[in-house]
Structure 1
Amino acid sequence: MTKQIRQLDRVVIRFAGDSGDGMQLTGDRFTSETAQLGNDISTLPNFPAEIRAPAGTLPGVSSFQVHFADYDILTPGDAPNVLVAMNPAALKANLADLPRGADIIVNTDEFTRRNLAKVGYATSPLDDDSLDGYAVHPVALTSMTIGALAEHDVSKKDAERAKNMFALGLLSWMYSRPYESTLRFLERKFAARPELVAANVAAFRAGWNFGETTEDFSVRYEVKPAKMLPGTYRNITGNAALSLGLVAAGVRSGLPVFLGAYPITPASDILHELSKHKKFGVVTMQAEDEIAAVGAALGASYGGSLGVTTTSGPGVALKSETISLAVALELPLVIVDVQRAGPSTGMPTKTEQADLNMALYGRHGEAPVAVIAPKSPSDCFHAALEAARIALTYRTPVILLSDNYVANGSEPWLLPDVESLPDLRVEFATKPNGEDGTCL
């Protein structure tokens, strides 16, 4: 059957399911396919705040939203055009965000009486008129995946886990995405277990072929590549871009970069990323607490390094006295605050730009600091360079305000020419005061 191909200028897709359903991986792979095609992209991963929430419940829903277009976009979108719901909890948690007429692809195998009861459905929304305003596509994702892998040497549990690849294959077909990079990714990811490579590839192809053959999907869509500046691009998250910006700041200043950090969501990825770049003179130290982390960073600045510390709101409160000390000592120090929601220990996986007033005024003795903020994931690279420039030029602490939304979101990033980056070298005194007849 020849299927109609319809041109669109933009699409917002949200993958949603349990934390164990692989929605983050599915969204990440769809994003990579889309980046390869040349669309502009903005993404928003959303993780449950609860630790090990019971499967099938509303608190356990994890989602990944991707917005792609044939023009420059700035956000991951407000209202999804397509929702992929792997269970009733995913449907209920996200239904209010959908505009009328949106496509809903539901995994009907999970709409059991028990799973419906977990989220308060007395009857299945697939059987009443509650979804009449949407284009609902019931797909038995789990059982079809298991059937597609019946001849593969994998357990039923492993076969069931591959249902996210079936969903990815279906959406890749639906939006005409190139899938070769996904197949290469699966070969690398499961290189030690060839049977899992074969199973996941088979599940992906089954989803693609299902879209090609089923009558429920009569239309495919195309979104043309965006017009972008020429050059080499890569898809990058805010935390990764910020980390590379700090590496570049070290290279352009000629100074070793020292990161003193205590793990805290959503800033921990910066510590993880910077620890990979020792060859660029980056030293990372996981401290025993937030106060030790900023103290070590300030000590590194005193010793001639570019001192950096990363944290979120609760850590900024603990670091405030040492930040004030850096002001008094006139030492460069970059404090990265990847903000999260709520007071006190807060909500690690929820987004809120909650620390602006604390960043501006949260010190005693009228100790002012410079505060800057990136506007997008890729802008984190340039914001990190600017924070380092201000800190080194004016010998002062600088607070770099990112947030959970920017840190975990991703977009295409044009790789810069290193020589075009600002020169951050500064001159240091090499003699004691007065030795050359001057008084500093």
Structure 2
Amino acid sequence: MGKSIDDTAVDTVNGVQVRAVSVDEVEEWNRALNFGFLRPHAGVAPDLRRRQWQPGRMVAGFDGERQIATFRSFDVELTVPGGAVVTADAITNVTVSSTHRRRGVLSAMMRRDLASAAERGCAVAILAAAEYNIYGRFGFGPATWGSGWRIDLGRTSGLREGLPGVPGGRIDFVTLAEQRELGAELYDRWRLTQPGAIARDGIWWERNTNVIQVPGDSFKEPFAAVHRDADGGVTGMVVYRIDNKWEGALPAGTLTVHDFLALDLPTAVELWRLVLSVDWVRKVVVQGVSPDDPLPLLLQDPRAAVPDEANADLMWLRLLDVGAAFGARTYGAAGRVVLEVEDRLGYASGRFAIEVAEDGTGRCTRTTDDADLALGAGALGSLYLGSETAPRLAAAGLLTELRPGAAAAADLLLRTPLRAWTPTEF
């Protein structure tokens, strides 16, 4: 198990000091972040970074007085299968200058953060991996996938006939202020229905509605529309932008959907009908929806929707408290499976029995019983939210079946009605 640490502690690795930055050092930390993200030309946003600063959670690697690496984390609610939430340590803003690679700086920052997160009682840690091969060695595994679509409106005449609508409902365009207020309320209801979704704080909404302006970001005011039911309650929202392009005298615009939330299918139908009927638009790009979203099947010609080239693994997850994490979620079938987990950092190491009752609730406890499956911490992170399957991991050599049929049996237990997904970058 990672040892308890003091937030004021200083770790030295190959001549680099790793420590938390003070609020007075935030501006330089922001400059180091820009440099690490290959944007040295971008200005800093000191007011934003000061709001994001929390004691011990904004860390840098120092070569002398110069910051050459950055790391930040914050606690966030993560929805798990069944609608419960667990506290996740969300890791972001990770950079190491190219002059200081392979010196153990990232490892020092990561170990420091995970030890602190485990001490605070976080069940899991999450991050978005810019590069695939970095985070597996820290026990993270891909846990959600994005699913975008590119729709050629010339190949489909909108939605199928006979789809359910909302009698008495209406759609209204809203201002940025209304988007921020109504969207936040809607999202907090919606996220509890989607495994893998994380909470959005006030800073997220302010940044995405131009209250906070960050140098280097280019904000173009979007179209934002909300759907209300017959009683006036908000049940959905879509946010999109349009590239108003013409080819000679013919319109050839592209509409890009940036955010799409719907509490039910009838609301989704009404919002998609709006999106697919905007004048001068010939192509619709949906940057991200759930992998289980039925959008292509709603079209008159589903072949008009092709997967977006940016579809890939999105959120990675590692277990810090296996019992708490697996005890919080629900399951697809009654049964029992024993997992032997190898974790180089120790947080998830050991043998665990997952026991599921007939009502789908479960508990996870340490055991000395014979194991059914053996896997690493990264594979366990991929299985936790239900987006990956034990048989597929076994086929890839990422999980070992110690009892014949155990992978298929575990798949029945871990199966979820909806695959995990989050629309929120962090």
TM over 0.5: no
TM-score by length of 2: 0.25
Bigger fraction of residues in strand: 2
TM-score by length of 1: 0.24
Bigger fraction of residues in helix: 1
Higher RCO by CA contacts (8 Å cutoff, separation 6 or greater): 2
Decide which structure has the larger Cα Rg and report it. Answer: 1
